[in-house]
Amino acid sequence: MSNSPFRTPARKLRLFTLILTTLLLGGCSGGNESWNGKDISGLMPTLAFELTDSQGRTVTAAQFDGKVRLLFFGFTSCPDVCPTTLQKLNQATKGLPEGLEDDVLTLFVSVDPERDSPERLASYVSFFGDGIVGLTGTEPQLRELAKRYRTTFGYEEPDNSGNYAVSHSSAVYVFDREGKARLLIRPDLGVKAIRQDLIALAGAETE
């Protein structure tokens, strides 16, 4: 990177992310106990961004209005959390009732723009079905988006070969068709539970 990403110890950022997530999960919510995920209605701003997709095009959140959107931060070199989470989301959306599958979209935002080119993003997200869009941006754009949703990310010091790990949140944010933040999907939530929430959210809004 022209501006080195290795400025803040990733260990501190992981702790900061953990604290923010804990506060969010334990905070006040809309009080709807029927959700499997955490109800965050009214706790987060609406979905808004201007990023670059896996085709190299500038896109905004408004271009995906009308769909329920799952926002997840990660990177293509992630060895465990990212592929596990994206596979789980793919399984959950593939099992939606007819008529709803095309109404739910996963937005995978890479926080590793140095390595994750549009071409690499396109290849990576293709492994996780058709209902996923790969996005990235400049580091300032990504920092701003992460801050908007009370999370962060950081970079480990590179090894002798120049390889480095990236720390990021494992939570998935769910936004309704209007872009309002509705749910936070925890890492321990299973496919069936996620699917139930998506059916309740997407299905209710088609009635």
> Measuring CA to CA, how many Å separate 103 from each of 54, 80, 145, 160, 161?
20, 27, 23, 45, 43
Q: Is 28 flagged in the annotation as binding? A: no
- 82 annotated to a ligand binding site: yes
168 labelled ligand-binding:
yes
Tell me the CA distances in angstroms from 62 to 32, 33, 57, 106, one per residue in order: 27, 29, 14, 14
Annotated binding-site residues read 78, 82, 168
Annotated binding-site residues for Cu cation read 78, 82, 168
